[in-house]
Chains A and B, each alone.
Chain A
Amino acid sequence: MKQVFKRPEALVDVPFHFCPGCHHGIVHRLVAECIDRYGLRDKTIGVASVGCSVFLYDYLDVDVVEAPHGRAAAVATGVKRSRPDNFVFTYQGDGDLAAIGTAEIIHAANRGELITVVFVNNAVFGMTGGQMAPTTMAGQETTTTPYGRETKTNGFPIKMAELLSVLPGTTFVARAAVNNPKNLMRAKKLLRKAFEIQTNRQGFSFVEFLSACPTNWKMTPELANKRVGEEMISYFPLGIFKGETN
């Protein structure tokens, strides 16, 4: 019988610490699949960030260095410049990449660093207990926007993919979601493309994943999934903002 589904070899066989319904586990799996697909397990150096994503090193069977909060793109720059033949990626959440690490991601992208950035946007600070993130939706209640995010005082949810796509230094910039099988299959393709951009030494690649955070959204996994599809995608459109599909 033909085997059609198995755990990726790059994914360590331990239970995730992620909450039920969180999309981090799915995105981890997609990253592991890509590492397997391109035979990168023994040449990958991952850069973990701060937040729910920090435990990357417990789940992926590759070398990993932990970056200070927001600094993953700078750390990855140092790693890649030192080891140009290794595959180097960062895995960052929205607080890490779009708040405290904005300078680092913009300048790494602008320099066209040969790295791949996996950006998980769940519109909230997950690890710290549900505070407002730069990507929190207008009107969204969080523990620091108890009356809902007021754009007049808190600004607007920041669109990182769009922002990075206008930089001449970037080669591939896309946004994906994993809330349903259709989007998941599309996300898989986009991430593969981002990996290829680096393995072909073409330039900086970036994929933003819209992700559910049922715990901090105070929703069931089912409703949180629905919210990604109904609320987030209309503000954070999916697709390729820079580069080609194939």
Chain B
Amino acid sequence: MTETVLVKGNEAIAMGAIEAGCRLYFGYPITPQNDIPEYMSKHLPEVGGTFIQAESEIASINMLLGASATGARAMTSSSSPGISLKQEGISYLCGSQIPGVIVNMSRSGPGLGGISPSQGDYFQSTRGGGHGDYRTIVLAPHSVQENYDLTMKAFDLADRYRNPVVILGDALLGQMKEPLIKHKYQKKKFPKDWVLTGTKGRKPRRLKSLYLSEGELTEHNWALYKKYQRMKRITMYEELYLEGAKLIVVAFGSVARILKTSVQMVRDRGMKVGLFRPITLFPFPYDRLEKISLSIRNFMALELNTGQMVEDLKLAVGHKKNQVDFYGRPPGSIPSPDELYNEIKKVYKKRIG
């Protein structure tokens, strides 16, 4: 089943979800991700699935909680302001260890902001925008193909860790059209000894996050912590031109996509620049970056915000004599490859000469 189609990034996510066995979708309209609910409303009934346009983002995430509690694969999608509303539900999903896939085709904030691309939700996604000491796995695609592939992966990771997975894209990744190579989802088996199906032949099960007995909550939080530590093994990233590089530029998502052209431009002019692209934002590839930083001393983060991922980069490589430079811009416009080229050139001149 390898078929190439020309689709929007949002559609690729919806297609990947259905291919991965997602049969319930709950959402509330918000630009720039409406192609996802629209696609789901059209195609889920064809596979016997359920689409509900909920009364709010809050209701959507809680419908997902209910559906996922029964072991079904369910998804919700939204964009920044709507994702803020889902944070309560995400915290509960983490607390009760219920999986689920949450797509954020982010737009600009704060507040109503605008509908242009932004990476301003990095902190919200990776630090947990809701209450409590929890983490969600965060996947950051940078192409239509990756939207499709990582959505399938998101369902597996959610089931594997009984934890919500956030797909963090943006208006650019949702709205652009590219060729997509469709492929079959490889079905995997995950333990289902926790799902609610009725007690036939077994003892009752409870999915809950309230722990009031002495020591119970501490124990629960340690167990969650250990799970988040285990997630380190799923860290994903992309590296380009690291060999002999004097400066590593680091970016995720749409900025990384633009940056690939800019890096080609600086390299064509003889500057030894490599590119590092985190694909999992949680777990962030700290270990790999730290290892790289033992031989390469100069790093530069580029983001479509005023400085968020750069903090993780500093945590990873900000030791000894390493330099971490930053170029960020608030949402409102997208940088061209030329602009990023100029910014990299400036840093390269300053640090390397």
A74/B96 in contact, CB under 8 A: no
B62/A67 in contact, CB under 8 A: yes
Chain A residues in 8 Å Cβ range of B210: 54, 66
A45/B208 in contact, CB under 8 A: no
B69 touches which of A44, A54, A71, A79 (Cβ 8 Å): A79
Residue in A closest to B206 when the chains form the complex, CB atoms? A57
Is A186 an interface residue when CB atoms closer than 8 A count as contact?
no
Q: A235 to nearest B CB, angstroms?
A: 28
B68/A78 in contact, CB under 8 A: yes
B67 touches which of A63, A66, A78, A104 (Cβ 8 Å): A78
A66/B209 in contact, CB under 8 A: yes
B199/A71 in contact, CB under 8 A: no
A83 to B67, CA, bound (A): 8
Residue in A closest to B73 when the chains form the complex, CB atoms? A82
* Interface-centre pick from B26, B66, B69, B98 (highest chain A CB count, 10 A): B66
B208/A57 in contact, CB under 8 A: yes
B56/A82 in contact, CB under 8 A: no
Is A77 an interface residue when CB atoms closer than 8 A count as contact?
yes
Please report which residues of chain B, range 65-105, place their CB below 8 angstroms from some CB of chain A when the two chains form the complex. 65-70, 72, 74, 88-89, 92, 96, 98
Chain B residues in 8 Å Cβ range of A97: none
Is A37 an interface residue when CB atoms closer than 8 A count as contact?
no
A103/B63 in contact, CB under 8 A: no
A66 touches which of B26, B68, B208 (Cβ 8 Å): B208
Q: B57 to nearest A CB, angstroms?
A: 11
Could you tell me how many residues of chain B have their Cβ less than 8 Å away from some Cβ of chain A?
40
Is A86 an interface residue when CB atoms closer than 8 A count as contact?
yes
Is B236 an interface residue when CB atoms closer than 8 A count as contact?
no
Could you tell me how many residues of chain A have their Cβ less than 8 Å away from some Cβ of chain B?
36
Is B264 an interface residue when CB atoms closer than 8 A count as contact?
no
Chain A residues in 8 Å Cβ range of B200: 42-43
A103/B197 in contact, CB under 8 A: no
Residue in A closest to B89 when the chains form the complex, CB atoms? A68
B67/A81 in contact, CB under 8 A: yes
A78-B26 in contact given A61-B204, A63-B204, A65-B208 (Cβ < 8 Å): yes
Q: A6 to nearest B CB, angstroms?
A: 20
A82 touches which of B59, B72, B205 (Cβ 8 Å): B72
Is B52 an interface residue when CB atoms closer than 8 A count as contact?
yes
A77 to B23, CA, bound (A): 14
Is B245 an interface residue when CB atoms closer than 8 A count as contact?
no
B199/A41 in contact, CB under 8 A: yes
Residue in A closest to B65 when the chains form the complex, CB atoms? A75
Please report which residues of chain B, range 40-64, place their CB below 8 angstroms from some CB of chain A when the two chains form the complex. 50, 52, 54-56, 58-60, 62-64
A71/B62 in contact, CB under 8 A: yes
A65 to B198, CA, bound (A): 11
Per-residue CB contact flags for chain A residues 36-76 toward chain B (1 = under 8 Å, else 0) read: 00000111110110000010010011111111100100111
* B residues neighboring A (CB under 8 Å): 23-24, 26, 50, 52, 54-56, 58-60, 62-70, 72, 74, 88-89, 92, 96, 98, 196-201, 204-210
Closest 8 CB pairs of A and B: A78-B66, A74-B62, A78-B67, A78-B63, A75-B66, A107-B55, A71-B62, A66-B208
* A residues neighboring B (CB under 8 Å): 41-45, 47-48, 54, 57, 60-68, 71, 74-83, 86-87, 103-104, 106-107, 111
Instruction: A65-B206, A103-B59 are known; give 16 further A-B pairs, CB within 8 A.
Output: A45-B198, A57-B204, A64-B196, A65-B196, A68-B92, A71-B62, A74-B59, A74-B62, A74-B66, A75-B69, A76-B66, A78-B63, A81-B66, A82-B24, A82-B66, A86-B197
